[in-house]
């Protein structure tokens, strides 16, 4: 039997407010956790979600002793409302830029372990944009290269900064800097106290290696064989595995520098096994958000090498 629903109401300010409450609940994974963000009581949030469900004619989430989770319809509404809010922000940004203003929001996606690379002046680019566009709300999110590119094409991000294993025709890619990746062991690993000439590729191939979950198709330099025994999606997790003394792993040289200087890590066969990873600043070719364009320009100017 097909379910019957009342007519869908026109989207009004009231609905947008309720959808933002719904967003806060989803992001915080529950009503109680969303109280601080929304500044209202849990009972008020429950009433507002009930109002949204009544207006849409569907159950959006289950809440109770079993915890909070979205229904299938709730997941669809959440994803559709994300597109709606992005469209609203893009509209505000376009109208603001027409009036000579930079307003709205910019969503920026980056990979992790990048703040320690002071040579690229990323922090200066962000500071310059904050001075140029003080009315724009900047969001920064950390994710894997594949998720960043997918999020850019699906309009979750306006701008991303990441290495890329593939390029896409709908995206404008600007080469920025190259980041050195080095193989490390920790102070408690047997390799740490060995002389350099005692370590060779065959020994490394026998040692447990911690790899990155998003680099399944990556080919190690010099056809090095690696004994993948662990995986992680963030550099900090790889660093913890290296520091444990049980795994080898690749890290950006700038990210590992403090541990190296503290005697807690050691690079291995750096001249042979280190490699450089190209980073790109990317945005959609169809991007019309003037604030996002200004943000990308601020970052690009700071990362351009000096003549």
Q: Which domains does the chain have, with CATH numbers?
A: 13-83 (1.10.10.10), 99-177+278-303 (3.40.190.10), 180-275 (3.40.190.10)
State the pairing for strand pair 249-252/171-186.
antiparallel
Give 17 or 274, the one with higher predicted confidence.
274
The answer on pLDDT for 110 being more than 60 is: yes
Task: Return the pLDDT at 305.
Answer: 60
Task: Return the pLDDT at 223.
Answer: 85
**In the predicted model, what is the mean pLDDT of residues 82-104?**
75
Q: What is the mean pLDDT of the chain?
A: 89
CA distance 242 to 210: 8
**In the predicted model, what is the mean pLDDT of residues 137-151?**
93
Task: Return the pLDDT at 306.
Answer: 52
- Closest by CA to 291, choosing from 97, 81, 34, 19, is 97
Give 305 or 177, the one with higher predicted confidence.
177
Task: Return the pLDDT at 127.
Answer: 97
The answer on pLDDT for 3 being more than 80 is: no
What does pTM read for this prediction?
0.76
């Amino acid at each position: 039997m097909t379910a019957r629903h009342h007519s869908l109401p026109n989207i009004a300010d009231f609905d947008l407010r309720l959808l933002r409450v719904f967003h806060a609940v989803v992001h915080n994974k529950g009503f109680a956790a969303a109280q601080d963000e929304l500044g209202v009581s849990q009972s008020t949030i429950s009433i507002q979600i009930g109002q949204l469900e009544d207006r849409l004619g569907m159950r959006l989430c289950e809440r109770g002793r079993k915890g909070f989770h979205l229904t299938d319809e709730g997941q669809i509404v959440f994803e559709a409302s994300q597109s709606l809010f992005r469209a609203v922000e893009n509209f505000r940004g376009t109208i603001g830029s027409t009036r000579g203003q930079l307003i709205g929001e910019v969503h920026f996606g980056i990979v992790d372990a990048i703040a320690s690379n002071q040579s690229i002046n990323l922090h200066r680019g962000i500071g310059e944009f904050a001075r140029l566009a003080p009315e724009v709300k900047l969001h920064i999110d950390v994710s894997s290269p594949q998720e960043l590119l997918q999020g850019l094409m699906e309009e979750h991000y306006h701008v991303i900064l990441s290495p890329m294993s593939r390029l896409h025709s709908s995206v404008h890619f600007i080469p920025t800097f190259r980041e050195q990746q080095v193989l490390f062991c920790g102070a408690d690993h047997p390799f740490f106290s060995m002389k350099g000439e005692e370590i060779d590729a065959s020994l490394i191939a026998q040692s447990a290696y911690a790899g990155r979950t998003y680099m399944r198709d990556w080919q190690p330099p010099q056809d090095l064989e690696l004994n993948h025994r662990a995986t992680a999606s963030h550099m900090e997790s790889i660093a913890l595995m290296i520091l444990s003394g049980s795994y080898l792993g690749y890290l950006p040289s700038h990210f590992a520098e403090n541990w190296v200087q503290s005697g807690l890590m050691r690079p291995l066969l750096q001249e042979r096994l280190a490699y450089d990873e190209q980073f790109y600043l990317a945005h959609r070719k169809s991007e019309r958000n003037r604030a996002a364009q200004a943000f990308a320009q601020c970052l690009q100017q700071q990362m351009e090498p000096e003549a």
